[in-house]
């Protein structure tokens, strides 16, 4: 009995240790040669780009070559381009002046009130325009690259409100905020009001927390000032830490999975003129191994 058990275990161990074989994908892509000029396939805007498949393959992914959809950019990493800030503002009620400051820092030790008040903030209010009335005023697009050290740095943007007792305090509304890392080939969004609605840190008043506080929503940041008899109020609202150089990997479209039948081809409509490198990645895989075939085409879309 012992010998039989040992033999069974040995056979099982040998079988289990053997990797499942993976075949190299048998996959080819062709395009209409009528569109070929030199080494580029040229189409007019609005024409559908058609790819013909041959062979049998388990999985197919497609990178169109557009911004954020490039095979070359598939790996995440850190790159710092031009760091920009923009938003719009309006100031309602009252006549108090200098009630809003736009501040930034890459040195914030914590988000408690003491750390915020004592941080080394740079006042960037004058890098753009702020409203003086209920008319909405675009701040413009400010270059704030100088506020960080390198691609691995982080940044915080704050709006600091001040209202003084004795006259009607202003009500401020901030809309259309965007902090971006602008690279030559694409723009990385670091913060918008809508995407970060749950991540703003705010203080009603470091010294008098019963006063008005900033309120974030999916569309704006707003603080409603008090009447003339309201106490003097200082109120902050601060972004989450913005990792300025973090670049997510570009994404592909899944054209076919292993559970689906083979396809005769794939059609894609490019939305804008430009030159694109379209890439198909065909792959077979198991838990142990993957083998892939890559097919690339240069495509030019003209108006």
pLDDT one-digit tens code per residue, 35-90: 999 999 999 999 999 999 999 888 999 999 999 999 999 999 999 999 999 999 99
CA–CA separation, 252 vs 65, rounded Å? 9
Do 62 and 85 fall into the same domain? no
- On whether residue 13 sits in a domain, the answer given is no
Q: What is the mean pLDDT of residues 177-192?
A: 95
Is there a domain that residue 6 lies in?
no
Residues 196 and 139 in one domain: yes
Tell whether 295 and 234 lie within a shared domain.
no
- pLDDT tens, position by position, 149-183: 999 999 999 999 999 999 999 999 999 999 999 99
Cα–Cα distance, 223 to 232 (Å, whole number):
14
**Whether 50 and 139 share a structural domain:** no
Q: Are residues 197 and 82 part of one domain? A: yes
Clarify whether residues 138 and 239 are in a common domain. yes
- Same domain? 42 vs 118: no
Statement to judge: residues 273 and 216 lie in one domain: no
pLDDT digit string, tens, across residues 199-219:
999 876 544 445 678 999 999
Please count the structural domains in the chain.
2
Question: Beta partners for 43?
Answer: 301
Alpha carbon distances (Å) from 108 to 9, 198, 239, 242, 282: 60, 20, 12, 12, 46
Domain membership of residue 215 as a residue range? 78-247
With the CA atoms of 197, 155, 137 and 188 taken in that order, what torsion angle do they form, in degrees rounded to the nearest 10? -70
| Cα(43)–Cα(35) distance, integer angstroms | 7
Q: Tell me, yes or no, whether 32 and 131 share the same domain.
A: no
């Amino acid at each position: 009995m012992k010998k039989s058990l040992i033999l069974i275990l040995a056979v099982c161990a040998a079988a289990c240790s053997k990797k499942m074989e993976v075949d190299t994908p048998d996959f080819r892509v062709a395009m209409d040669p009528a569109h070929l000029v030199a080494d580029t396939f040229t189409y007019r805007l609005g024409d559908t780009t058609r790819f013909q498949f041959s062979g049998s393959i388990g999985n197919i992914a497609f990178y169109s070559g557009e911004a954020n959809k490039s095979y070359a950019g598939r790996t995440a990493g850190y790159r710092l381009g031009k760091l920009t800030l923009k938003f719009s503002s309006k100031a309602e009620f009252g006549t108090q002046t200098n009630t809003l400051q736009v501040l930034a820092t890459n040195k914030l030790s914590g988000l408690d009130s003491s750390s915020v008040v004592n941080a080394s903030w740079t006042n960037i209010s004058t890098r753009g325009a702020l409203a003086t009335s209920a008319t909405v005023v675009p701040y413009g697009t400010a270059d704030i690259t100088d506020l960080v050290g390198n691609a691995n740095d982080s940044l915080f943007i704050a709006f600091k409100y001040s209202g003084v007792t004795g006259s009607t305090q202003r009500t401020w509304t901030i809309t259309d905020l965007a902090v971006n890392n602008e690279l030559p080939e694409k723009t990385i969004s670091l913060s918008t009001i809508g995407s970060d609605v749950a991540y703003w840190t705010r203080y009603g008043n470091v010294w008098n927390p019963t006063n008005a506080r900033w309120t974030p929503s999916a569309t704006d940041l707003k603080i409603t000032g008090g009447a003339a008899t309201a106490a003097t109020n200082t109120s902050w609202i601060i972004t989450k830490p913005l990792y300025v150089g973090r670049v997510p990997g570009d994404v592909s479209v899944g054209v076919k999975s292993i559970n689906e039948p083979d396809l005769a081809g794939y059609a894609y409509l490019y939305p804008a003129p430009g030159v694109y490198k379209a890439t198909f990645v065909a792959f077979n895989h198991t838990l142990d191994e993957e083998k892939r075939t890559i097919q690339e085409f240069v495509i030019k879309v003209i108006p």
